């Protein structure tokens, strides 16, 4: 029976869950990663695989999907067990303190749990304007997972936050033209993204919103936008429209597990501990004073959660594991002994 109990179960194979899986391997913990999607990568693979990321330390520029591939490669020597296509549904603390995680397909026993479930089930903020539903996925998109449909096209991007500006910047090298509209003149996006877009040949309309999309049987051919101060309409000849209004998060079943929550986030202390013993959390799903929803922040939190979980399982184990060169040697020795 005991061989079926994992030292650590991780919920979520986004970047933070994957890095936690690597780290749990380093701490010689047997690890299972439960992921409701059929592949790893979380938001990076689902929402922006082709986008370049510039704010992960040590990588001046890395494509989102490449970062995911490298995280999978980094964890691979430690053989985490991946359970793709399984959504974690219920959590029960058993009388012997082990944790029973019930997924949509199986029951998993673990001695500790790390929740790296990101924003849970994410869905885009939808836009209600004429023609949007008609052309969804054939000219109107809420996420860019492939740049190919945008090659040499006139593209309209809607929104003023990071999602919209990231998508607009991604499109610049491939699209024939990029136009961005935003309903205000204040942008929530990173200042640097806005600076880059303003210095590009993209057209920017502030105080403008979408009124309607018109087209033929195949695809959109024009977007009608209006100035929300005067009502004046402008017709843009575009064949692709990207609605980048951000994503709404839904914790789903995790909200029912008795975890202390603030809004849609799990409250953790500086050790990434939740209010349940043996249950830690990291990445976009957590909140604490000063929390930033960034990959780099999650990469800092994952080792804290794992090392605390290790110490919880074995109070004699040091919390600080030493540096990676030492660990690699140790791991090679352990492998040689097995």
Ligand X SMILES: Cc1cc2nc3c(=O)[nH]c(=O)nc-3n(C[C@H](O)[C@H](O)[C@H](O)COP(=O)(O)OP(=O)(O)OC[C@H]3O[C@@H](n4cnc5c(N)ncnc54)[C@H](O)[C@@H]3O)c2cc1C
Query: Shortest Cβ distance from residue 51 to ligand X (Å)?
Result: 6
Which of 261, 296, 313, 317 binds ligand X (CB under 6 A)? It is: 296
Residue 55 or 329 having the CB closest to ligand X = 55
Report the alpha-carbon distance of residue 225 to residue 156 in Å, rounded: 10
- Asked if residue 36 binds ligand X (CB under 6 A), the reply is yes
Query: Shortest Cβ distance from residue 20 to ligand X (Å)?
Result: 9
For tokens 């929390």, what's the residue?
291
Residue 131 or 202 having the CB closest to ligand X = 202
Site size toward ligand X (CB under 6 A) is: 39
Comparing CA positions, the residue from 259, 266, 264, 263 lying closest to residue 282 is: 266
- Asked if residue 254 binds ligand X (CB under 6 A), the reply is yes
Report the alpha-carbon distance of residue 206 to residue 133 in Å, rounded: 24
- Asked if residue 37 binds ligand X (CB under 6 A), the reply is yes
Report the alpha-carbon distance of residue 147 to residue 171 in Å, rounded: 7
What residues between 133 and 152 interact with ligand X by CB under 6 A?
none
Instruction: Select from 8-16, 74-82, 177-185, 269-277 the region that touches ligand X (CB under 6 A).
Output: 8-16
Report the alpha-carbon distance of residue 331 to residue 334 in Å, rounded: 5
Instruction: Select from 24-32, 148-156, 287-295, 322-330 the region that touches ligand X (CB under 6 A).
Output: 287-295
The 3 state secondary structure assigned to 138-196 is: CCEECCCCCCHHHCCCEEEEECCCHHHHHHHHHHCCCCCEEEEEECCCCCCCCHHHHHH
Site string for ligand X, 160-199 (x = CB under 6 A): --xx--x---------------------------------
Structure tokens at 302: 């994952």
The phi, psi pair for 264, rounded to 5°, reads -95, 15
Question: Residue 124: CA atoms inside 13 Å, Cβ hemisphere, count?
Answer: 20
Site string for ligand X, 83-102 (x = CB under 6 A): ----xx--------------
Which of 9, 10, 17, 135 binds ligand X (CB under 6 A)? It is: 17
Residue 42 or 321 having the CB closest to ligand X = 42
- Asked if residue 110 binds ligand X (CB under 6 A), the reply is no
Residue 29 or 32 having the CB closest to ligand X = 32
- Asked if residue 301 binds ligand X (CB under 6 A), the reply is no
Query: Shortest Cβ distance from residue 26 to ligand X (Å)?
Result: 18
Report the alpha-carbon distance of residue 215 to residue 206 in Å, rounded: 24
Q: How far is CA 207 from the centre of its chain?
A: 30
Query: Shortest Cβ distance from residue 308 to ligand X (Å)?
Result: 17
Structure tokens at 64: 């989102």
Burial status of residue 313 (CB atoms within 10 A of its CB: 0-12, 13-18, 19 or more): middle
- Asked if residue 35 binds ligand X (CB under 6 A), the reply is yes
- Asked if residue 287 binds ligand X (CB under 6 A), the reply is no
The phi, psi pair for 173, rounded to 5°, reads -70, -15
- Asked if residue 305 binds ligand X (CB under 6 A), the reply is no
* Residue 334: count of CB within 10 angstroms of its CB: 10
Residue 226 or 247 having the CB closest to ligand X = 247
Comparing CA positions, the residue from 291, 284, 240, 297 lying closest to residue 43 is: 284
Structure tokens at 262: 């603030």
Query: Shortest Cβ distance from residue 233 to ligand X (Å)?
Result: 29
- Asked if residue 298 binds ligand X (CB under 6 A), the reply is yes
Residues that bind ligand X (CB under 6 A): 11-17, 34-37, 42-44, 47-48, 53, 55, 87-88, 116-120, 162-163, 166, 247, 252-254, 283-284, 293-296, 298
């Amino acid at each position: 029976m005991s061989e079926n109990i994992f030292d650590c179960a991780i919920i979520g194979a986004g970047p933070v869950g994957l890095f936690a899986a690597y780290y749990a391997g380093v701490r010689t913990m047997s690890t299972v990663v439960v992921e409701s999607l059929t592949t790893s990568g979380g938001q990076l693979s689902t929402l922006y695989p082709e986008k370049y990321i510039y704010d992960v330390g040590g990588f001046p520029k890395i494509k989102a999907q490449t970062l995911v591939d490298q995280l999978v490669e980094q964890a691979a020597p430690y053989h985490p067990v991946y359970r793709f296509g399984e959504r974690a549904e219920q959590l029960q603390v058993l009388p012997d303190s082990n944790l029973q995680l019930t997924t949509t397909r199986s029951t998993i026993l673990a001695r500790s749990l790390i929740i790296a479930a990101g924003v849970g089930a994410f869905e885009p903020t939808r836009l209600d304007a004429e023609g949007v539903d008609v052309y969804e996925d054939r000219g109107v998109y809420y996420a860019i997972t492939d740049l190919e449909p945008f090659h040499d096209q006139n593209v309209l991007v809607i929104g003023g936050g990071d999602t919209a500006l990231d998508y607009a910047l991604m499109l610049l090298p491939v699209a024939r033209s990029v136009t961005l509209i935003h309903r205000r003149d204040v942008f929530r996006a990173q200042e640097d993204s806005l600076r880059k877009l303003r210095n590009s040949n993209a057209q920017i309309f502030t105080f403008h919103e979408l009124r309607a999309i018109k087209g033929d049987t195949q695809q959109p051919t024009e977007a009608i936008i209006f100035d929300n101060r005067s009502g004046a309409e402008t017709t843009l000849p575009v064949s692709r429209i990207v609605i980048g209004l951000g994503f709404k998060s839904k914790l789903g079943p995790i909200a029912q597990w008795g975890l202390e929550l603030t809004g849609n986030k799990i409250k953790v202390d500086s050790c990434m501990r939740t209010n349940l013993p043996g249950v830690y959390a990291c990445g976009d799903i957590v909140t604490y004073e000063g929390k930033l929803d960034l990959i780099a922040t999650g990469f800092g939190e994952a080792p804290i959660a794992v090392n605390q979980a290790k110490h919880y399982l074995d109070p004699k184990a040091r919390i600080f594991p030493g540096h990676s060169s030492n660990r690699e040697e140790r791991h090679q020795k352990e492998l040689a002994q097995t």
